[in-house]
Amino acid sequence: MKIIDLTHTITENMPVYPGTDQPSLKIICNHESDGFKETSLTMTSHTGTHMDAPNHIFADSTTLDNLPVEQFIGSALVIDCSDLQQGKEISMNQINAVKEKADQADFLLFFTGWDQYWGTPTYFGNYPYLTEEVADYLIQSKKKGVGLDVISIDSMSDAKLTIHKKVLADNDFIIVENLTRLGEIGDGLFIFCALPIKFKNADGAPVRAVAILSD
């Protein structure tokens, strides 16, 4: 099998959602004085490549620690949206082009190519985003979740978080944002695994996301 890491590395100067504190990685024990190394990590629950739980939006909804681990693993398909211009919507046109495979997948991952701007101001600009029609399809086809290589499934200008609210109204749905290397996977079905840090009442959490491809 071939395994592709779809995860951005967490660093102190990495991109974070505007207004969010930067992560801190502080060495509290070192090899020279303590004989071992230990690092104190301080970061928000939606840092880097991360997962949103329904509880991210809805106070009485499911947290990640209360979802079964099976929710985080399943068949997936990358939908190629890399030809979209800045600020354009990801519509059912992209899904309908590969509808038979899309119907079979537990997860749809949308490849915009926007991860090429990681670490630049452009990353927070007019990235492609999901339409309500696509959100309806994700719900009606009973997907486990959705993933993108951008900072949000909503446009940066949508303060109401319309798409978040639509898909996370289902207590068994997750969102994975800030993925990378989706363009290396190809157009076939594969196994997607995104395991979040397990902490109590998790509204979201950083994940290590990977694609597992058969030879």
Enumerate residues 6+ apart whose C-beta is below 8 A from 7: 48, 49, 179, 180, 207, 208, 209, 210
In angstroms, the CA 176 to CA 209 distance is 9
Could you give the 3-state DSSP secondary structure of residue 201?
Answer: coil
Q: Do the beta carbons of residue 27 and residue 37 sit within 8 Å?
A: yes
- At 136, the pLDDT band (50, 70, 90 cuts) reads very high
Q: Give the torsion sign (CA, 132, 136, 139, 144).
A: negative
Q: Could you report the per-residue pLDDT of 2-59, keeping only the tens digit for each?
A: 999 999 999 999 999 999 999 999 999 999 999 999 999 999 999 999 999 999 999 9
Instruction: Give the pLDDT of residue 96.
Output: 97
Instruction: Give the pLDDT of residue 67.
Output: 97
215 pLDDT above the threshold of 80: no
Q: Could you report the per-residue pLDDT of 60-95, keeping only the tens digit for each?
A: 999 999 999 999 999 999 999 999 988 899 999 999
In angstroms, the CA 95 to CA 108 distance is 9
- At 139, the pLDDT band (50, 70, 90 cuts) reads very high
Task: Work out the angle at residue 184's Cα, subtended by the Cα atoms of residues 54 and 150, and round it to the nearest 5 degrees.
Answer: 35
Cα first-last separation, the chain? 5
